[in-house]
Amino acid sequence: MPKMNMIQALNSAMDIMLGRDPSVVVMGEDVGYFGGVFRTTDGLQRKYGEQRVLDTPISEQGIVAAAIGMGVNGLRPVAEIQFADYIYPGYDQIVSELARIRYRSASEFHAPVTIRTPCGGGIRGGQTHSQSPEAIFAHVSGVKTVMPSNPYDAKGMLIAAIEDDDPVIFFEPKRVYNGPFDGNPDQPAVPWSAHPKGEVPEGYYTVPLGKAEIVRPGSACTIVAYGTMVYVAEAAARAQGVDAEIVDLRTIAPLDVDTLFTSVKKTGRCLIVHEATRFGGFGGELSATIQEECFWNLEAPIARVAGWDTPYPHAFEWEYFPGQRRVGAALKALMEAA
């Protein structure tokens, strides 16, 4: 099986879809000639031409709107927003337009647009290159919001997103582009080639949207995480010696409640971990949803670990980042409660 990092896996997904489906186009700032600031679209314009792999002006509003128009005219655009922090100029076009076109036209029109965007911190990006804004998209009916955590899922889910007739906001946790990251920046980086999820088939396959994955079965508690935090949670559980069941959510919305309910009913304890700010974060929705269904199975209050409710500071990146120490402390408290 070939080894790929997440960037190569995403590149392979777009390569395959550009090759299979003439209606697929890739567009975004610097994605064409240069191949993207993270190299995710490297070589695609050379292979498929500049009519199908388009550099765009620096206008997220224009990128999303143009992708909508293209989608309405029969194309399947894969639009890159260079950093999730830059997505806000396109937010009205996503929320008021992309998400609503099918509904307001009673399915006469739809726009099968995939919006890829790197998110998350831990890369010395400061407050404008580190945000995790998934919750503000999860709140919007009409779009699907996903965040794969590894190369295998990234490729399979991106292909599924491109083929999906509904719009998909595809968050790429950029701290794990090159390897799983356990939250300790002082440790030597681990490459994806050393991880089973770095084994990625060359050809076409899909990983379904809307399905969470249990990445580590366990019996003592359930840790719900996604993106970079999957690996931080794994490391923290290992360090604490807790037999945690770790659920990688993969899709934020629509949410795979069945996997969550089954796991929490089994373990009776639940810790939710995300990198995004806590207040109004997606963890609140997860906590409420799990509590409504699993209350009588819970042995302790559901706990949350998240980024602090501040902007993501450049100089205090590791004090901000919800690393192993914070996750570990929450896990210890969860296991000691009641």
Q: Where are the beta strands (DSSP E) in the chain?
A: 24-28, 53-55, 76-80, 114-119, 144-146, 168-173, 213-216, 221-225, 244-248, 251-253, 270-277, 303-307
d(CA 41, CA 33): 9
Q: How far is the CB of 260 from other proteins (least distance, A)?
A: 12
> Min. distance of Cβ 99 from other proteins in angstroms?
9
Q: What does the DSSP 8-state code read for residue 54?
A: E
Q: How far apart are CA 174 and CA 302, in angstroms?
A: 28
Q: How many residues does this entry show for the chain?
A: 338
Minimum CB distance to other proteins, residue 50 (Å)? 10
Which one from 110, 129, 195, 274 is the annotated catalytic residue? 129
Q: Which two tokens stand for residue 135?
A: 């919750």
| Residue 146 tokens, joined | 């996903």
Nearer to other proteins among residue 73 and residue 338 (C-beta): 73
Burial 294-332 (b: 16+ CB within 10 A, else e): beeebebebbbbbbbeeebeeeebeebbbbbebbbebbe
Closer residue to other proteins in complex, CB, 141/310:
141
> Whole-number minimum distance, CB 100 to other proteins, in Å?
8
Interface positions with other proteins (CB under 8 A): 25, 51-52, 56-57, 59, 61-62, 65-75, 89, 92-93, 96-97, 100-110, 141-142, 144, 165-166, 210, 254-255, 257
Q: Which is nearer to other proteins, 67 or 327 (CB)?
A: 67
CA distance 221 to 206: 30
Verify whether residue 129 is a known catalytic residue.
Answer: yes
Minimum gap (Å) between residue 98 Cβ and other proteins: 10
Q: Which of 104, 325 has the CB closer to other proteins?
A: 104
**Closest separation in Å from C-beta 282 to other proteins:** 14
210 Ramachandran zone, left/alpha/beta (phi>0; psi -120 to 50):
left
Query: Residue 67 or 235: which CB sits closer to other proteins?
Result: 67
Q: How many C-beta atoms lie closer than 10 Å to residue 103's C-beta?
A: 11
CA distances to 233, 248, 265, 267, 313 from 117, in Å: 23, 19, 34, 34, 20
Q: Find all residues with CB under 8 Å of 176, minimum gap 6, and list them.
A: 6, 149, 150, 227, 228, 231
Report the distance separating Cα 26 and Cα 48, nearest Å. 10
- Beta carbon nearer to other proteins, 101 or 169: 101
**Closest to other proteins by CB, 4 or 157:** 157
CA 2, chain centre distance (Å) = 23
CA–CA distance, 164 with 146 (Å, rounded to integer): 12
Least CB distance from residue 271 to other proteins, whole Å?
Answer: 23
One-letter identity of residue 123: I
Instruction: Please identify every residue annotated as catalytic.
Output: 129
